[in-house]
Chains A and B, each alone.
Chain A
């Protein structure tokens, strides 16, 4: 079965540079989530999209932005990179049963992009 695809797998950038991470959700999934996981930390929610519209926002710095395109793939854009941005960035997708209703859908995670800022 198709899984969530993230690219690139590894990315090395210098301070103040920009980075773009891509995510291809499982076909027919309507919701995409982005998470950041620092070393030894739990995943922290950044932002989500439902049917290509931003649906929720977490602890995402103003230097970061994201969007979901017409083909449902999503991109996380990160500018003015800082050393503290070094982390694993995960994308996940799910099929949400209905907006405003009960959600009982597991998230399917990609293998992540390891970003190293030097």
Chain B
């Protein structure tokens, strides 16, 4: 990957459980974003956390950012079968024109 690692690469849980995905990156950033991708479809923006923020919530999503460790985590609470998808973190680095560099992604499977 151009950017770093995501773990786990694959995660299988039951409906109602929480899912946690982690992401590490290499450069100084303006912000870090999480995207969701259903198989063969486009990426959908979930949440953006700025470099001066440590935690952000959006519905059942909770994102944390630790710039000292260059890492982020995405927590999906009370998961649903419809959450089954691939999740990517992406960093917007300084002086990079707004382009995003993506991590390798976590494939989440939520079983009903």
Partner of A42, one of B42, B88, B97: B88
CB 8 Å contact bits of B93-112 with A (1 = contact, 0 = none): 00111111111110000000
| A88 CB within 8 Å of chain B | yes
How many residues of B are in contact with the other chain, CB < 8 A?
Answer: 28
A109, B42: Cβ atoms closer than 8 Å: yes
A112, B30: Cβ atoms closer than 8 Å: no
Interface 9-mer from A43-51, A61-69, A74-82: A43-51
Partner of A109, one of B31, B43, B48, B92: B43
| B33 CB within 8 Å of chain A | yes
How many residues of A are in contact with the other chain, CB < 8 A?
Answer: 33
Closest chain-A Cβ to B97's Cβ sits at a distance in Å of 4
| B40 CB within 8 Å of chain A | yes
Chain A 10-62 interface residues, beta-carbon cutoff 8 Å to B: 31, 33, 41-45, 48, 50, 55-56, 58-59
Interface residues of A (CB under 8 A from B): 4, 31, 33, 41-45, 48, 50, 55-56, 58-59, 88, 90, 92, 94, 96, 99-100, 102-112, 114
